[in-house]
Structure 1
Amino acid sequence: MRFGLVGTGHWARVAHAPAIAATEGVTFSGVWGRDPGRTAAIAGEFGVRPYATFEDLLGDVDAVQFSVPPDVQARYATAAAAAGKHLLLEKPIALDAAGGRALVDAADASGVASVVFFTHLFRPETRAWLAELAAAAEEHPWEGGVALALGTVQREEGDFSTPWRLEHGGLWDLAPHALSVLVSVLGPVESVAAHEDPLGAVHLVLGHRGGASSTATVSQNVPSAAAVSYSRVWGGAGHAVAPAPETPVVEALSRAVTELTQAAAPGAAAHPQSVAFGARILDVLVRAQEHLDSARHNGQMSP
């Protein structure tokens, strides 16, 4: 399968491009980005073609892998799906409900395969843990959970201090990681409440289908000593803490590339982390943002 990369930023260069290049059975056809200079640089680094336009890239590939801001991704991925190209997406799939719906509708209409790269869910250690939890749940359902996802992007300048992360913070950048784990264990989210403190931490209270509940605290404005990614669930079998990450990101992302090719095979089932799963996570983010915006409008929280 021929893959094209859309995006030329730091994450595209250190994760997405190396993952495509390292994956057996796929061809890294080329890259397109909105900055021609950076497009040429990343293409030269990986020995692939720099495309002058997005349309030119689409004409030469079977699948498109995205490493761009969510609103940009939604627009171009919708066009790629309409053109019949399989999709490897970053989280969140969009920055608003309308963008997410358009992308899902385009993917459904064309029948393309899709995978959304929720990092934790493509690490073998996390998958093994989730499988253990699923087995235990047959006798003792999991009843609750808590997740912390704390980063430094809005406090300490670095490679990930990109405009969209600085503007949208932990809810949109880090909550998808936390939610991907909580939803995988406790089931779909049916109710959402959110509160943001003056320092930028967002606290979510979630009600899951079947009666379980969970909380998630996310921020991109903590000091480096406080940065953490942590998930715990509990139920009749006791407590279970998600394992620390061991698998390098490029290896996890290469697994996502391979699994997209498998999902694109004739008669294959949709991938568990397809764009439909991404849309369910997006729905939680949208409802949380609406809750925060309403609270600000009514003077119930600090601006």
Structure 2
Amino acid sequence: MDEALRVGVVGAGPWAHRVHGPGLSAHPGTRLAAVWARRPDAAKTFAEPYDAAVVDGFDELLESVDAVAFAVPPAVQAELAPRAARAGKHLVLEKPLAADPAGAREIVEAVDEAGVAALLMLTRRFAPEVQEWLAGVRGLDGVQGGTGRWLAGGLLAGDYAASEWRQEQDGALIDAGPHAIDLLDAALGEIEQVHFAHRSSDGLWQLVFGHAGDLTSTLTLSLRMPVQPAMVDFAVYGEHGQAPLLGRRTAARECYARMLDDLLVMIREERTEHPCDVRRGLHLQQILADVLARLG
């Protein structure tokens, strides 16, 4: 592409300020061109450092950009993303893709019909240490299963203390769950069944998954755990012993830059398939629904 991709951001919350704005501004192939948010004053505050336009509505945003990045709750994304795709705009999508599988499926159908590039911001999948780990464990023989642990205090205070959808009873599963489930699924093969799901009164999740090839994995998850630093670790185990995910944890902004690299390649090569595309988002959405159904 000869010119920078003009990207409009929907939403002006913490993630937009922390990652979308700096990431789009710093990348040589993109430009933060416009912002639309529910609160005009928040949109103005977010847009000003990047000299981006503040627009009055979603349709006006679509008229002024080549791509749309979403930083909104899942239900809002499910409503707006199909409109953006059908308008021919490439998409940067948050996880989970929607509020339910039906909403996720509508996004997939719109993206497929329009033939636009669309990536789900599964932050850790774009980290080099994670990609190296996945490449290694996929080649191992004698794998029997795996485990994941994602324990943090993100819902106790700070940026997301006022995030209504995250503070709901299933907020930790919906927010961090897609990241954790994605890593287990990518490392061990497709999750086909939720064998067990339990959520304690204080928001601690214990999950057991069945993968293709008769493999199993376990996941412990909470965003209400006052631990510093957060405990986020994964491992695959079997006849060879254990293969843990080790090494530095790449910062979210660097992962975002790598995601933008991939998006620009997809646009240039007119490709729609990617390990973190919308079909991946639909798969994860269905697993979330299966977990909630398993709770009874």
The answer to whether the 8 Å contact 1:150/1:226 transfers is no
CA-to-aligned-CA distance 1:27-79 (integer Å, 9 cap, x gap): 22111111100111111022111111111111111111111111111111121
Once residues 27 and 234 of structure 1 are traced to their aligned partners in structure 2, the CA distance between those partners, rounded to angstroms, is 43
Correspondence 1:1-303 to 2 at 5 A = 1-135=5-139, 137=140, 140-154=141-155, 156-161=156-161, 162-167=163-168, 168-192=170-194, 193-225=196-228, 227-268=230-271, 270-292=273-295, 294=296
The answer to whether the 8 Å contact 1:150/1:170 transfers is no
Once the two structures are TM-superposed, the CA of residue 215 in structure 1 deviates from its matched residue by 0.8
The answer to whether the 8 Å contact 1:150/1:174 transfers is no
- Residue 138 of structure 2 aligns to a residue in which SS? helix
Number of residues of Structure 1 aligned to a counterpart in Structure 2 = 289
Once the two structures are TM-superposed, the CA of residue 287 in structure 1 deviates from its matched residue by 0.7
The percent of aligned pairs where both chains have the same amino acid is 37
Once residues 225 and 123 of structure 1 are traced to their aligned partners in structure 2, the CA distance between those partners, rounded to angstroms, is 21
Once the two structures are TM-superposed, the CA of residue 224 in structure 1 deviates from its matched residue by 3.0
C-alpha RMSD over aligned residues: 1.5
Between 1:92-101 and 1:239-248, the stretch displaced more is 239-248
TM-score norm. by structure 1 comes to 0.91
CA-to-aligned-CA distance 1:188-225 (integer Å, 9 cap, x gap): 11101311122221111100111111011111221234
1:299 matched to which residue of 2?
A: none
Once residues 240 and 210 of structure 2 are traced to their aligned partners in structure 1, the CA distance between those partners, rounded to angstroms, is 20
Change (3 A) 1:189 1:123: same
The answer to whether the 8 Å contact 2:92/2:118 transfers is yes
The answer to whether the 8 Å contact 1:195/1:202 transfers is yes
- Residue 108 of structure 2 aligns to a residue in which SS? helix
Once residues 79 and 196 of structure 1 are traced to their aligned partners in structure 2, the CA distance between those partners, rounded to angstroms, is 35
TM-score norm. by structure 2 comes to 0.93
Matched to 2:148, the amino acid is A
Once the two structures are TM-superposed, the CA of residue 234 in structure 1 deviates from its matched residue by 0.8
The answer to whether the 8 Å contact 1:92/1:172 transfers is yes
Once the two structures are TM-superposed, the CA of residue 169 in structure 1 deviates from its matched residue by 2.2
CA-to-aligned-CA distance 1:89-145 (integer Å, 9 cap, x gap): 11111121111111111111111111111111111111112122223x2xx053211
Once residues 19 and 36 of structure 1 are traced to their aligned partners in structure 2, the CA distance between those partners, rounded to angstroms, is 22
The answer to whether the 8 Å contact 2:81/2:91 transfers is yes
CA-to-aligned-CA distance 1:127-172 (integer Å, 9 cap, x gap): 112122223x2xx053211111112234x22112211110132111
- Residue 215 of structure 1 aligns to a residue in which SS? strand
1:301 matched to which residue of 2?
A: none
